[in-house]
Structure 1
Amino acid sequence: MVGLLSGTSACCRWLLSLTILAVLSSTVSAELRHETLKVAMRDGVRLATDVYRDDKVPQAPVVLIRTPYDRTRQKEAAERWVKAGYIFVAQDCRGTRESEGVLAPYNNEGQDGFDTIEWVMRQSWCSGRVGMVGGSYVGAVQWQAAVEHPPGLVVIAPQATWSSFYRNLYLGGAVRLALIAGWLAGNTPKPDGVTAADMDQALMKLPLSDVDEAIGWPMPWLDAWLTHPQPGGFWTRVDLTQQLPQLRLPVLHVVGYYDFFSRESVDNFVLMQTQAAHPETRQQQQLILGPWDHGTIGRSQVAEVDFGAAAALDVAAIQQDWFDRFLKLDPATTDKPFSPVRYFSMGDNRWVDAQSWPPPGIRPTSWYLHSDGRANTRRGTGQLLPVPPAASQPPDTFRADPQNPVPASPVTAARPLKAAVWGPVDQSPLEDRNDVLVYSTAPLTEAVVFAGTPVVQLHVSADTVDADWVVKLVDVHPDGRAINLATGLQRARYRRSLLQPELLQPGEVCELTIELGPCAATIPAGHQLRLDICGSLFPLFDRNPNTAEGIFGSGTAIATEQVHHSPGRLSQLILPILPAQ
């Protein structure tokens, strides 16, 4: 009995600690009241939390954002949400800015999200309904909190984020090197007096396990992520995908085609719309799929392409409408129907409403690779034709040198190697390299319209035990600009399984299926469709040393890679063509 009473007393003390522990500041500006508090998590670590509300509104639904990027930068958003009739709560994630603890990326966000929502629900100003908003890291913490099933969380709006962190970092067995090295360099404490090395050189470091040392200081999380290239137990804690269908949450999914989160965000929408356990939840999903990369969501200018005024979307207004519908339960919005999918068609630059992704009625249509064995560079003989080769053709060959990788973007004075972008840029300078194969249609006589996931099937071989194949789908304009639309890659040893790698037998032909990610475009008459194929997408992804020595190996080998396209060994682009309007 004494033990039980002691446990009850401890529990009560812990529950009391979830109340406001310290009011650090309190300011009132017009109708906006702002308080900064420290809120205790279950282990006693206190997180800096700002509460914005209108004193004239005694109780309202709450919009919560949890961020590692400084909660104090949310004041403008707070004013907008409070003006719309909500209470806005912004919190520094554990170990960031003014919050206590140590940042272990994503490691505590589920429990901390649960504890924070539980605290919010106990406040007199909370109506009993909470929604979460934000993108990237700030989007992932929403999924992490949601799968903990905190009472009161009724809607989320995770923008450009993941449900499987492994699938966000790795694609086809290759790792998004520049992304994670840059992020962790900016979020790992740097020793006093240390100057970061030039990232152009640091990202070339082998073995990959030493990249942090090449940058200039230890980064344990970078080492950990780079040295676990397969989706095993290391990643279980940050793999939420199988739990998503059990959620009873309306979800607004927003992402762009060029965003490195595009595959994950779109897959999350498709999973929730088609497999959510509750039929009502399936009908409470919306996907906004634009022409953006990670830093340009809602804008018209993306890298080198201006997609026109239509691409400039007020995402904040869309989020508010979603929350008015499902958080505030405003009859003015709940009675209005909404389209489950709104996607942007690049080329004709317009928004299209659909009931699903991909849109209903698509027809997989093939264009086949042809050449006389000289498809190297854009001046070669590579062709994309609607009919397969009728007779044997010599394979096309290129040499992939890890010491001279094909850059992800053309290197210019304004865009060094380390500044490679995910967005649309003119690929023609890269297409002049002899280690890039180029296959093009003739100028189109009528527009090609597609929406979905383009797929490339290749028959390939190499003289090394491993190699990468990178494929870009390109829209060639009449003036010669070659604008990338979608990209995919495959590390050959993972061609059949990420968990059971299988080395190449030098010279043996094998088949690769490479998905290029979500994409919708209209390629106008007079333009050309093109495929570029090479052996690297550096430094957006790590180079393949072609040796299969593993993550701790430092040796490299030049791979002679071939693409085959003959009867029985067809290589083809498969586009999800939309029916004629």
Structure 2
Amino acid sequence: MSDRAFTVIENQWITLKDGTRLAARIWMPDNAENDPVPAVFEFLPYRKRDGTSPRDESTYPVFAAAGIAGVRVDIRGSGESDGVIDGEYTKLELANACELIGWIAEQPWSNGSVGMMGISWGGFNSLQVAALRPPALKAVISIASTVDRFNDDIHYKNGTHLSAQLSWAATMLAYQSRSPDPELTGNRWKDMWLERLEKEPFFMEEWLEHQRRDDFWKHGSVSENFADIEIPVLVIAGWADGYRNTPIKAIEGLGPKAKAIIGPWVHKYPHFAWPKPRADFHGEAIRFWNRWLRGEQNGAETLPQVRAYLLEAIRPAPRREFDPGRWIAKDLWSKPEGAYLHVGATGALGFGKPTAAATRDVFLRSPLDTGTAAGEYFTLKPDVEMAIDQRSDDAGSLCFETAPLASDLDCLGMPVLTLKVKSEGELANLCARIVDVHPDGTAYRVAFGVLNLAHRKSNEFPEKLVPGEETEIRMELDACGYRFKPGHRIRLSLSTAYWPMILPPPSDPGLTIDTASIELSLPKLGEAQDVVVKEPDNPSPLPDYIEHEPGATRRSVTRDLSGNRTEYRIFEDTGLHEHPTTGLSTRQIRDERWTISPEDPLSMTGQSVWTCDMQRPGWFVRTISTARMICDADNWIIAGEVLAFDGEDQVFAKTFEKVVPRDLM
């Protein structure tokens, strides 16, 4: 890596062919017009001026010092960009991205080669844009993303309805309601803000119209045709995040052009993620970009196809600073062989495939508040956003356990569970969890999977269960990388509820499970080598902003025994922080509550409220955004509200209300 001087262009207007003006922040290596450079492009609705500025400032200066320009652009209707957002990963968004790539490649400072990068939204659209093959796009780094928008995103999971869908709708309502910065837009700021407030959609209205894997979700799911992507791709994720499946699915679909890194992390860039150990993302990325954007022969293409951190003996705790384990590598990925387990006649979990045996039926109907130890789908901190000790959830589950292990068992990949079930109802959910039980009883969730049984054969064409009829179920659980240690036990936990992560079906008939049919296949690591993955040189890469008021985080579960009602509450306050250069101070507060009666699926309620403040001396704006959900036997009933304040004056109010029929969910 060189140490080239660079300049930060705080705001660059880029005018699209349709006249829309988008706002970019650019880190430009000096003398680039005489010595053209490659560029890395990131395209997000999360506000370059404040929302992503800490992470942008941790990475793009390092790229620029290595002679790689960074171009961070706000999607229309966000930050300082004109217009109004029209949804997630829309055709317009992707077309704009292709146009921007062309613009970058044509600049006098550009060598004509562009990479695209991002985490989450930016990781999603990087893959989607790669599938459109804009000529100047030569490589992609996609972090914490998905190749399948229906099954591996924040909306639905194997036909179950994720509560995170409401959370995410509230988040986007809050983000898109925020004002541009007058320092960049001048007097236009208020007109731009009011236009957004008036025209922004409540995303959940559209998402709920598509409760099966139809064309809406196929759009942007690169798994529909992996062959559309012809350029090199580096896919990165963390075991503690909801997007843990993507690296393996991507390399299986894309083949040798894709490489994967999977660490112990939450939903963050690897150089500042938790739990530790971290990875030197800057070094990895610069080597990748130099190989594919400059043609530098640095051996990036010869790196192992998969590098993964194998966790071991994890103890769930209120906060996990460091997870024990080791880095391993597989030069070429192949589908793993299975280590098979079955449930014997005594109810114990044993190794080997099940033998022909008489049916051993057990009835299971979990309390509907089973799942409060699950953590969140979308994890940003290494605290109780991650799954905690599983013993409380296992109390409402059907559990099978091995004897203490005599030797290590190393696993990497996606476990598969097959079993036979029947129900007296037409709809039911099933959750399966693989748990590492420590000698002292501590129970750590290694992997889990959920399934709406109406989607047992197809997510596109679901079918109701036939009451009383036995059916065979196959569940592919989320990917894991784990070593089960000697003296530990492996537990399989089954439940018919996993609230609040997934929302219940309209009735609660329970399931009869033939325990003799249970077969669990754990993915054996197979041939691999231990490797060293370099940690970042800078242990604190994020910039320091001026703290005016500290933040706070709280998670709580309250069980009203007299009222027979459970509440799960999430409270997040970022605190008030000022950017030391721009003088802009921001704060976001999320207050989210879910409630349910353990015996009544129609009692479920959810509400997420966001309060977002922006201020400078003499200027203060606030938005309060609310998303709510209840249900009845036939419908999802949602509502939203946005209030906006300029100083003490309320300048805008809008409500959303919609009733959407349930679709076998």
Give the aligned partner of residue 426 of structure 1.
389
Please report how far the alpha carbon of residue 345 of structure 1 lies from its aligned counterpart in structure 2 after TM superposition: 1.4
Deviation sequence 1:424-461 (CA, Å, 0-9, x none): 4210122223xx11110011111112222110111111
Mapped pair 1:489 → 2:489: no
Unmatched tracts of structure 1, length 5 or more: 1-28, 193-216, 274-281, 303-308, 373-380, 413-418, 546-556
- Shift, 1:231, TM fit: 1.3
1:32 and 1:456 map into 2 onto residues whose CA distance is: 54
Cα 1:411–1:341 change in 2 (3 A) is: closer
Write the mapping of 1:443-482 to structure 2, written as runs, cut at 5 A: 443-482=404-443
Q: Give the equivalent residue in structure 2 for 1:342.
A: 307
Q: 1:242/1:495 Cα in 2 relative to 1: closer, same or farther (>3 Å)?
A: closer
Aligned to 2:283: 317
Q: 1:48 pairs with 23, 30, 47, which one?
A: 23
Superposed counterparts of 1:180-579, under 5 Å: 180-188=165-173, 220-273=202-255, 282=256, 284-295=257-268, 297=270, 301-302=274-275, 311-331=277-297, 333-334=298-299, 337-347=302-312, 349-358=325-334, 362-370=336-344, 382-386=348-352, 388=354, 391-392=357-358, 394-400=360-366, 404-409=368-373, 423-433=386-396, 436-545=397-506, 557-566=507-516, 570-579=517-526
Distance 1:321 1:190, change over 3 A: closer
> Compared with structure 1, are the counterparts of its residues 411 and 488 closer, same or farther at alpha carbon in structure 2 (3 Å cutoff)?
closer
Equivalent residues of 2:374, 2:386 under 8 A apart: no
Please report how far the alpha carbon of residue 523 of structure 1 lies from its aligned counterpart in structure 2 after TM superposition.
Answer: 0.5
Residues 489-523 of structure 1, C-alpha deviation per residue, up to 9 Å, x if partnerless?
11111111223322222222111101112222110
Q: Is the 8 A contact 1:444 1:526 kept in 2?
A: yes
Which structure is higher in strand share? 2
Q: Displacement, 1:266? A: 2.5
Q: 1:67 aligned to 41, 44, 47, which one?
A: 44
Give yes or no for contact 2:237–2:265 (8 Å, CA) kept in 1: yes
Q: Aligned with 2:365: secondary structure?
A: strand
Looking at structure 1, the residues matched to 113 and 89 of structure 2 have their Cα atoms a distance apart, in angstroms, of: 25
Contact 2:143–2:237 at 8 Å: present in 1 too? yes
Contact 2:375–2:388 (CA under 8 A) maintained in structure 1? no
| 1:58-137 alignment, distance < 5 Å | 58=33, 59-72=36-49, 73=53, 74-104=56-86, 105-107=88-90, 108-137=92-121
SS at match of 1:429: helix
Distance verdict in 2 for CA 1:187–1:486, change over 3 Å? same
Write the letter of the residue equivalent to 2:421.
V
Distance, in Å, in 1 between the alignment partners of 2:271 and 2:479 is: 17
SS at match of 2:11: strand
- Per-residue CA deviation, residues 375-413 of structure 1 (Å, 9 max, x unaligned), is xxxxxx554453636643632222245xx331252699x
- Contact 1:67 1:137 (8 Å CA) reproduced: yes
Q: Give the drift of 1:467.
A: 0.6
Deviation (angstroms), 1:528: 0.4
How many Å separate the matches in 2 of 1:184 and 1:443? 44
Q: Distance in 2 between matches of 1:218 and 1:99?
A: 14
**Alignment partner, residue 621 of structure 2:** none
Q: Normalization by structure 1: what TM-score?
A: 0.76
8 Å contact from structure 2 (residues 130, 229) kept in 1: yes
Aligned match of 2:9: 34
Share of identical aligned residues, percent?
Answer: 25
How far has the Cα of 1:564 moved from its partner?
Answer: 0.6
Equivalent residue number for residue 145 of structure 1: 129
Query: Does residue 176 of structure 1 match 2:127?
Result: no
Q: Which amino acid in 1 is paired with 2:511? A: E
Q: Counterpart amino acid of 1:122?
A: E
1:368, CA displacement in angstroms?
0.6
Alpha-carbon distance in structure 1 between the residues aligned to 2:95 and 2:422: 48
Q: Which amino acid aligns with 2:412?
A: A
Aligned residues of 1:252 and 1:286 also touching (Cα < 8 A):
yes
Q: Distance in 2 between matches of 1:37 and 1:296?
A: 25
Higher mean displacement: 129-138 or 286-295: 286-295
TM-fit CA distance, 1:33: 4.0
Q: TM-score, normalised by structure 2?
A: 0.67
The 1:343/1:459 distance shift into structure 2, 3 A limit, reads same
The separation in 2 between residues aligned to 1:476 and 1:270, in whole angstroms, is 31
The number of residue pairs the alignment matches comes to: 477
